[in-house]
Amino acid sequence: MKKQIMQGNAAIARAASDAGVKVAAAYPGTPSSEILRDIAGTYPEVYAEWAPNEKVALEVASGASFAGARALACMKHVGLNVAADPLMTLAYTGVKGGLVILVADDPYSHSSQNEQDSRNWTRFGKVPMLEPGDSQECHGRGASFRKIWQWIFLKN
C-alpha cells in the first residue's frame, strides 16, 4: 500500500472503506463533517447519507448493521446527546453486521458551542471505545476495526 499524508478525518474515511463499511450516515457538524464528505466523494462502494439529525444518522447505520452490513455513524460530540436514546438501546440489543459510532470531540470548543467529553457515554452505556491519538492511528485502527467489529456488538 502506498503511503499518503492525510488529515485524521480523511484517514478515518479511508479506514472505513478499507474495513468494509457499506453504509455511512452522519449529521454535518465540524469537526466531523469531512468524514462523510470524503466517504461520499472518494469511496463509491460505501452508501453515504446525510441525516436530518444525529439520532437518525445512528438509526440508519444501526438498521444497516441489523441487516448484516458493516456501518458507520458520524457526529460531533454534542450530537451524541441527540443520539443517546438509540445508543443506549444498541448497548444492550447489539447489532449483526458491525457498527462504529464515530464521535468527534472538540477540545477547547474551536467550532462548537461547548466542550464535552463523549468518553463518558461509553462508560455509561458500557460500550467499547477506541481513541486514536493521531492521523496514522485513525487509519491504523481500520485494521483493528475489521478484527473487532464482529464481536463488539454481535449478539445473535
Tell me the pLDDT tens digit for each residue of 86-101: 999 998 888 888 888 8
Domain that holds residue 134: 8-106+116-144
Strand partners, 37: none
What pLDDT is recorded for position 135?
65
Judge whether 135 lies within some domain.
yes
Judge whether 149 lies within some domain.
no
Judge whether 155 lies within some domain.
no
Judge whether 2 lies within some domain.
no
Distance CA 24, CA 151 (A): 19
Distance CA 76, CA 20 (A): 23
Q: Which domain CATH number covers 132? A: 3.40.50.970
Q: For residue 119, what is the enclosing H or E element?
A: helix 119-125
Judge whether 152 lies within some domain.
no
Kindly report the pTM of this predicted structure: 0.84
Residue 117 C-alpha cell reads as 467529553
Domain tally, the chain: 1
